[in-house]
Amino acid sequence: QSALTQPASVSGSPGQSITISCAGTTSDVGGYNYVSWYQHHPGKAPRLMIFDVSNRPSGVSNRFSGSKSGNTASLTISGLQAEDEADYYCSSYTTSSTYVFGTGTKVTVL
């Protein structure tokens, strides 16, 4: 299985909105509505931000939202804040009953 494709970096100014894409195939992203997104600050464990394409776990800000169209999922961060600067990864359950992660996106708040 190949890693899902994400842009290497995305940047935005405080208060702006940014969107990170996550491209897969019909065997993963397009196969099920089981796409998750993680925020990863260096030295810490990745934090689940979105599950099942668009659901937020308790405690996650509603500034984070997810969507999917075909084989591509997206994470949008609105009202960008300095604390949002981190690496972001998507993940999908696959038709082989495995998981695959994305290549990762570094978000920079200008």
Partner 1 sequence: QVQLQESGPGLVEPSGTLSLTCAVSGASISSTDWWSCVRQPPGKGLEWIGQIYHTGITTYNPSLKSRVTLSVDESKNHFSLTLTSMTAADTAVYYCATSSYYRVEFRGQGTMVTVSS
CB of 47 to partner 1, least distance (A): 7
Beta strands in 51-104 (DSSP E): 64-69, 72-77, 86-93, 99-101
**β-pair type (86-93, 99-101):** antiparallel
Binding positions for partner 1, 31-50, rule CB under 8 A: 32, 34, 36, 38, 40, 44-48
Whether the CB-CB separation of 54 and 65 falls below 8 Å is answered with: yes
Minimal distance, residue 84 CB to partner 1, in Å: 18
| Structure tokens that stand for 12 in this block | 């935005």
Total binding residues toward partner 1, as defined by CB under 8 A: 26
**Binding residues vs partner 1 (CB under 8 A):** 1, 3, 32, 34, 36, 38, 40, 44-48, 51-52, 89, 91, 93, 96-104
